[in-house]
């Protein structure tokens, strides 16, 4: 509860603060201070069991170690995002304080999505995440590409919202005896699902797949990620994506977990399609930004394995994956923001020009690939292990491994450009401060530490 209230309050403070604050850099420091305070408040709640607010939410929200740990991860990753990319947020436009305000509102929605216990709170949480993102996507008003991406994102988002509402209505109608939106009150036994609930389940599955950019509902993702200001693409492709996955898992475990075998085949089809489409299309991209957009679809395929398995190992794997993927992607996007050229050739000879950026970029890419000793490897291992515990669809695990091998091809093309190619173009001017380099080193070190000691995160789930 601490995180939900404080992110909303701090978002309002940042919004009204924009009226009085004229300096462009001040909002960044205010945002960082606020986020550190919210992190400490969430820490008190998870480890001391002492929320600052004791509010009767009528069982609409449910707080446990899993949801609170997940909230800690997204708050910590957002803090890192502010530290690494705060200066680039200042360059987007004039309304810097409002941009940070919108990000805090997204975090509020993410906290609700991680703790919802009713279908209505799920809807509210997803919408609080989505609406500020439409604005952030179109925040570069003078860029037609950004405007087009915002319009496309809004239309697709509105479409998926309608599908979600239809799904909620069908599930509620099929569960009329209980007349409750509470996901734990959906009365499903071991027998065949009632038709109305089955239809509602399919609608909810489609809507959540849209939000998580899982195939075949992913088609909006590359254009929106490519058109949005790069600094916000970093936030959308990492923290927002893992928050939606958290809601995805929570919904299907809480509402439909008892009849998992009846919908597991649908998840298998979506997972296989997401892995194949994400990886194969990423291979042909020349823009690193667009390649990272497609690779985020491929990474979503791995996260879907947690929904397929739906066991304790899957939960641990998802939380670990959220941290590993967010750290590596935020770091990689932060480096990309310093480049003038977003193509793979733009990385040629980076090791000679900026050794710190080159080495840390290498670690981020190795983690995204899933190479041993990195957090990416451990998180992928957890996902595969959880899926292996299922007695069906073992071919899906083989497909996931093969797709991970394919991902090595396009990630290693950047590594090859960084370390083994010469830069033949004019030297670019680097806006890189010593503090930025130190933060990159810390991020890379965290990836290695989590790769060696994943228990740091997984043990928090059992606190």
Tens-place pLDDT, residues 93-120:
788 889 999 999 999 999 999 888 899 9
Which tens digits make up the pLDDT trace of 389-418?
877 788 888 999 999 899 899 999 999 999
Q: Which residue has the higher pLDDT, 182 or 363?
A: 363
Number of CB atoms found within 10 A of residue 59's CB: 12
8-state DSSP, 257 = G
Q: What does the pLDDT read at residue 416?
A: 92
Q: What does the pLDDT read at residue 81?
A: 92
- Both tokens of residue 251? 């919904």
Considering the entire predicted model, what is its pTM? 0.92
Work out the average pLDDT over 225-238.
88
- Both tokens of residue 3? 């995180």
Distance CA 62, CA 39 (A): 19
CB-CB contact of 237 with 293 (8 Å): yes
**Using omega within 30 degrees of 0 as the cis cutoff, is the peptide bond preceding 216 cis?**
yes
Distance CA 238, CA 58 (A): 31
CB-CB contact of 224 with 149 (8 Å): yes
- Both tokens of residue 225? 């990620």
Which phi-psi region, left, alpha or beta, contains residue 373 (left: φ > 0; alpha: ψ -120 to 50)? left
Q: What does the pLDDT read at residue 311?
A: 84
The mean pLDDT value of the chain amounts to 87
Nearest to 136 by CA among 124, 123, 153: 153
Q: Is the pLDDT of residue 445 over 70?
A: yes
Q: What does the pLDDT read at residue 78?
A: 93
Distance CA 201, CA 188 (A): 12
CB-CB contact of 326 with 73 (8 Å): yes
Distance CA 333, CA 338 (A): 9
Burial of 49 (0-12, 13-18, 19+ CB in 10 A): exposed
Q: What does the pLDDT read at residue 24?
A: 81
Which tens digits make up the pLDDT trace of 59-101?
888 888 888 888 999 999 999 999 998 888 888 878 888 999 9
Q: What does the pLDDT read at residue 463?
A: 62
Q: Choose the weakest-confidence range: 85-99, 159-173, 369-383, 426-440.
A: 426-440
Q: Which residues pair with 116 in a beta bridge?
A: 61
Nearest to 255 by CA among 203, 304, 305, 212: 203
Which phi-psi region, left, alpha or beta, contains residue 85 (left: φ > 0; alpha: ψ -120 to 50)? alpha
Which tens digits make up the pLDDT trace of 417-437?
998 888 777 666 677 889 999
Q: What does the pLDDT read at residue 437?
A: 92
End-to-end CA distance of the chain: 18
Number of CB atoms found within 10 A of residue 223's CB: 17
Predicted confidence band at 190 (pLDDT cuts at 50, 70, 90)? low
CB-CB contact of 303 with 243 (8 Å): no
């Amino acid at each position: 509860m601490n995180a939900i209230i404080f992110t909303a309050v701090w978002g309002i403070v940042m919004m009204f603060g924009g009226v009085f604050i004229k300096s462009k850099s001040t909002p960044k420091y205010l945002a960082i201070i606020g986020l550190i305070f919210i992190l400490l408040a969430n820490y008190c709640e998870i480890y001391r069991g002492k929320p600052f607010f004791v509010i009767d939410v009528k069982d609409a929200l449910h707080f446990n170690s899993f949801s609170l740990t997940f909230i800690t991860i997204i708050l910590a990753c957002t803090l890192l995002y502010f530290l690494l990319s705060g200066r680039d947020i200042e360059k987007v436009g004039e309304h810097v304080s409002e941009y940070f305000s919108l990000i805090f509102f997204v975090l509020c929605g993410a906290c609700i999505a991680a703790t919802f216990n009713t279908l209505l709170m799920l809807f509210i949480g997803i919408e609080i995440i989505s609406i500020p993102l439409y604005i952030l996507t179109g925040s570069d008003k003078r860029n037609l590409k950004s405007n087009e991406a915002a319009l496309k994102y809004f239309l697709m988002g509105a479409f998926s919202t309608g599908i979600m509402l239809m799904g909620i209505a069908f599930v509620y109608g099929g569960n009329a005896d209980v007349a409750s939106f509470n996901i734990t009150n959906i009365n499903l036994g071991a027998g065949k699902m009632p038709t109305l609930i089955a239809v509602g389940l399919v609608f909810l599955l489609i809507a959540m797949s849209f939000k998580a950019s899982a195939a075949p509902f992913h088609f909006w993702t590359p254009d929106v990620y490519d058109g949005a200001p790069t600094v916000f693409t970093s936030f959308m492709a990492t923290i927002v994506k893992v928050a939606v996955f958290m809601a995805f898992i929570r919904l299907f475990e809480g509402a439909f977990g008892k009849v998992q075998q009846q919908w597991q085949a649908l998840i298998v089809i979506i997972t296989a399609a997401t892995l194949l489409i994400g990886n194969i299309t990423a291979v042909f991209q020349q823009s690193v930004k667009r390649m990272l957009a497609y690779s985020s679809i491929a990474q979503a395929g791995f996260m879907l394995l947690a929904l397929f398995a739906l066991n304790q190992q899957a939960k641990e794997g998802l939380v670990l994956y959220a941290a590993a993927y967010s750290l590596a992607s935020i770091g990689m996007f932060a480096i990309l923001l310093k480049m003038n050229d977003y193509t793979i050739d733009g990385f040629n000879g980076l090791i000679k020009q900026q050794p710190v950026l080159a080495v840390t970029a290498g670690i981020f890419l190795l983690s995204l690939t899933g190479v041993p000793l990195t957090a990416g490897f451990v998180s992928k291992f957890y996902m595969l292990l959880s899926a292996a515990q299922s007695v069906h669809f073992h071919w899906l695990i083989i497909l996931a491994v093969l797709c991970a091998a394919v991902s090595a091809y396009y990630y290693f093309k950047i590594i090859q450009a960084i370390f083994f190619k010469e830069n033949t173009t004019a030297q670019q001017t680097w806006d890189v401060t010593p503090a930025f380099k130190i933060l990159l080193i810390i991020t890379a070190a965290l990836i290695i530490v989590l790769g060696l000691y994943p228990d740091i995160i997984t043990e928090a789930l059992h606190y």
